[in-house]
Amino acid sequence: MFAFPSSFFEMWLRWHGYRKYKRRSRHSLNRACFKLISLMRRLPTNSLIIDAGANVGDVTAYFLGQGMRVIAFEPDPTALAILQKRFSGNDKVTIENKAVGAKAGHAPFFQTAAVRKGAIYQTEWSSLDRRDVHDDAITSVEVVDLVAYINALPQKVSILKLDIEGTEAEVLEAILDAGVETKIDLIVAETHERFSPELATRISALKERIAARRISNVELGWR
């Protein structure tokens, strides 16, 4: 099984953060990376990780290489095919062909036209939110109520990684409303304030809420 060394993973996080979000605070990125890598070194084997927005599985591969179990959510059909092929037969991975949200249901799913022409890397931008894609919906996907999903798991979630292209605000709001963050060692999330003023306002409110409650295990600047 391929495994990223911790040093490589940290380098990858830093590079990806710089490439995709040059304006993001380096301090926030460094803090999130430090907390994630430090916690990974302390977690026992077979701890449970949720990788929400797993894409083609690079971060999932890192977690597996550290001996963890992973539930990988990926609604994009192009990325999903790669993810499934990559981890076929690995009993430490559960792949959920679903999106995550604040409530269960179904929603239109958007993908750039470039993906359908072979630009696999653009699956990183696929989303339930059309504002970053500007293309027609390619399909409808099942959306899981993430709070209910986590509460129903038989094992504690040690790390929740959220990279869900614009729907992170509603998920994080639901997590804080339900107090689920107290059941998870660390939540790391990529935020997408650039999508809209409305989303930027919600993310700002979340940051204020986290600071006011002195929540130390939720990091919103990890990439």
pLDDT in tens, 34-89: 899 999 999 999 999 999 999 999 999 999 999 999 999 999 999 999 999 999 99
Residue with more model confidence, 135 or 138: 138
Q: What CATH code is assigned to 6-101+154-219?
A: 3.40.50
Stretch 13-18: mean pLDDT, rounded?
46
- Domain range list for the chain: 6-101+154-219
Note every long-range contact of 115-124, with CB atoms under 8 Å and residues 24 or more positions apart, other chains counting.
Answer: 115/76, 115/78, 116/78, 120/56, 120/78, 120/79, 120/82, 123/55, 123/56, 123/76, 123/78, 123/79, 124/20, 124/55, 124/165
Provide the pLDDT for residue 133. 59
Q: How far apart are CA 118 and CA 101, in angstroms?
A: 28
Could you tell me what percent of the chain has a pLDDT over 90? 62
